[in-house]
Structure 1
Amino acid sequence: MKKEIIAGSVALGLAAIAAQALRCQPLETVPYVDLKKYVGAWFEIAAFPQWFESGCTFTSAAYGLAPDGGIIVKNRCIKDNKIKIAEGRAYVADKTSNAKLEVQFQWPFKGKYWIIGLGDDYSYAMVGHPNRKYLWILSRRSTLDEQIYNKLVAQAAEQGFDVRKLVRTMQGV
């Protein structure tokens, strides 16, 4: 019995070390994002809970290209039976891939928005932060095929995200 407890403790310790090692690795983005295909409406399928989305349901985002090359961001959700809207701007931080953006809702604060998963047809996306504290799974529709969702969750775990923190977003029936 004692050997099993020790073996279990060692296995748990090794798993924790492996997870920490993954979190220390650079976050990999998709190779390239065509921003003209990426803009448009997105529905939040699941995310790590954040204070700025607390109590939100029916969460979505709309992105549009700005004349200066930036991206207009309009996030919305239903909170306390009211529509809550947050408007901001995103800027491409890596012009080679277009996969690393910086989003700003309030000056001077910017957040990293790295596209780490993307459907070939731009029907779904996964966005994270290199510190692994932020993660969103997005879809062009209010639902996402379960196989695709599971694939994205596995990919996020492989990149060092603690996917146990993922919470599905209520999008309605």
Structure 2
Amino acid sequence: MTKHILAALMGVGAVFALSACVSLQSGPVGNTAVPEPAKAVDLTRYAGRWYEIARYEAGFQRGCEASTATYGLRPDGLISVLNTCRQDEVDGALRSIEGKAKVIDSGVNAKLKVSFFGPFYFGNYWVLDHAEDYSWSIVGEPSGRYLWLLSRTPAPSSQVRDTILSRARDLGYDLSLLRMTKQPEA
């Protein structure tokens, strides 16, 4: 296998992305009653770069710092996904993986299926809540084992951070399972 293929298979960035690992890994359940997404999602406004502020730790993200997810609207109606992170430290080796997502609840656009491994597997990606101005987002999936807290900036204000954490707690998530993500200083 080439280095590029190995890197793509081994590297999974932030977010966020739920791939085959979702069904294969079993971690602690941080929410036994994951709610349905709270708001509709405007995909045009959701597109762009997101910085991971915190997550439930997952094997496919082990050692990831400075994690980002970048989404884009494709001409075929799918959503492009690029997840990146730095290995072990904010200036560590770059890891990235590209995937695609499709909306499964048209009209609301808050439930997606994401794949990083071609047509073989699509994992759940639910935008459970987001700020009205799309400055933050909470992403999870039905098992309650995965959670990502995202922001449009790498260092949101303490007020915004507190809002995200409070909202995640209100959605039923155990915040003691969160792993805070280091981001480079501005």
- TM-score tier (shorter): 0.7 to 0.9
**Partner of residue 126, structure 1:** 138
Q: 1:82, 1:159 → 2: CA distance? A: 34
The one-character-per-residue Cα deviations of 1:1-49 (angstroms, maximum 9, x if unpaired) are xxxxxxxxxxxxxxxxxxx9x723x512132111011000111011111
Report percent identity of matched pairs: 38
Aligned pairs (5 A) from 1:18-37: 23-24=32-33, 27-37=35-45
Partner-residue secondary structure (3-state), 2:37? coil
Secondary structure, in 3 states, of the residue corresponding to 1:41? strand
Does the alignment pair 1:98 with 2:106? Answer: no
Q: Any unmatched runs of 5+ in structure 1?
A: 1-19
2:163 aligned with 1:154, yes or no? no
In structure 1, distance between residues paired with 2:167 and 2:130: 11
- Please identify, of 88-97 and 105-114, the stretch whose mean Cα deviation from structure 2 is larger: 105-114
Q: Residue type of the partner of 1:133?
A: R
1:64 pairs with 2:68 = no
CA-to-aligned-CA distance 1:79-137 (integer Å, 9 cap, x gap)? 15211011100110110210011111114122111111211111111101121111111
Q: Distance in 1 between matches of 2:137 and 2:170?
A: 16
Q: Distance in 2 between matches of 1:146 and 1:131?
A: 29
Report the Cα distance in structure 2 between the residues aligned to 1:155 and 1:23, rounded to whole angstroms.
16
Deviation at 1:150, TM superposition (A): 2.1
The one-character-per-residue Cα deviations of 1:46-76 (angstroms, maximum 9, x if unpaired) are 1111111111111101111111111000000
Q: Which residue of 2 aligns with 1:10?
A: none
Question: What code does the residue aligned with 2:110 have?
Answer: A
Task: Look up the equivalent residue of 1:42 and give its one-letter code.
Answer: W
The answer to whether the 8 Å contact 2:78/2:100 transfers is yes
Identify which of structures 1 and 2 has the higher relative contact order when contacts are C-alpha pairs closer than 8 Å and 6+ apart: 2
- Give me the TM-score of the superposition, normalised by structure 1: 0.82
How many residue pairs were aligned?
152
Larger Rg: 1
Which structure shows the higher helix fraction? 1
Tell me the TM-score normalised to structure 2 length. 0.76
Cα distance in 1 between the residues matched to 2:112 and 2:136: 17
CA RMSD of aligned residues (A): 1.7
Does 2:144 align with 1:135?
no
